[in-house]
Structure 1
Amino acid sequence: MRQISSLLQGLARSLSVGRDRRGDGGAGDGKAAAPAVLRTSGTVWGEGSETFAAVCSRRGEKGTNQDCSIVWEGFGCQEDTIFCGIFDGHGPWGHYVAKAVRDSLPPSLLEKAAKRLVECAVRAWRRRRQGIAVDDCSAICLFFHSPPS
């Protein structure tokens, strides 16, 4: 539970920064902008983005880190929407379940949000390794939508 709290605090620190900030560390070497979807630790700057999002996950004392996260700016082709998700796997194969949910949930939500959320959880549960009854995943999903100015 301590990890979830830390992850939520990191996601809550989404703030606006100036246009002159770049994700290349100021190197100015003309490299292409980072993709809009973050699936590993780090920072993403989308082209023309004024939003900063951070995700942090630490392995606990129990072994394999079973947390996965995603930050998707411009979710659903809406420039003012950010999708943030934290997926905490449980059980010996929980890290696989968390990754499967992370990869399948956002596209499913784009279709029919409430119905797809339940269907995705059921699908992930059915795909778990056969014979292991304790693998599952807790999910926390946030949608940030800025009101028109």
Structure 2
Amino acid sequence: DQEKKNEILLERRREKDDEQRADCTFAPEVRDTYAEPERPVVVSGLGRYFELKGLALRKQQEQQEREAKVFRPEAGKSRSLGVTIPEPFTLSSSGPQAGASQSYRSSSELPTRSEEYTFTPKTNESVNRDIIRQIMRGSPATDDDLYYEDLGNSRACQAAW
């Protein structure tokens, strides 16, 4: 009894589904699967990309060759010429070279200018210093003792001794 009811129910459902399908007007267009084209596909810029990649690779190889030629790590091991040997240095004058730099305690020990110096510049300050020395010695310089020298754009006054 129960089985008959289930069969009748299933039959009615099928009939109802068939009626609904008959009322439906939608009919999709189904296409075939995608087929690969026989000819090669053209991609713009691909040739330039491979060209630049080849140039970069060649440039890198040339750089490595230059580095191997210039730096040559295997050649540096066998050659030891030109190696600097560090030696201690002295900052004080108590070492063996202390006699080279003489310290003068008084002005009488100083060498004269003609012995030590080869160039004496004529500057305004040296003229002023000479005048001040003459005044300090007690003999004031008069205008007759001074003469003027043209030094380009400026004039320098010098004492005539």
Q: Which has the higher Rg, Structure 1 or Structure 2?
A: 2
Report the TM-score range of the alignment, normalised by the length of the smaller protein: under 0.3
Q: TM-score, normalization: structure 1?
A: 0.17
Q: TM-score, normalization: structure 2?
A: 0.16
Tell me: higher relative CO, structure 1 or 2? Use CA pairs within 8 A at least 6 residues apart.
1
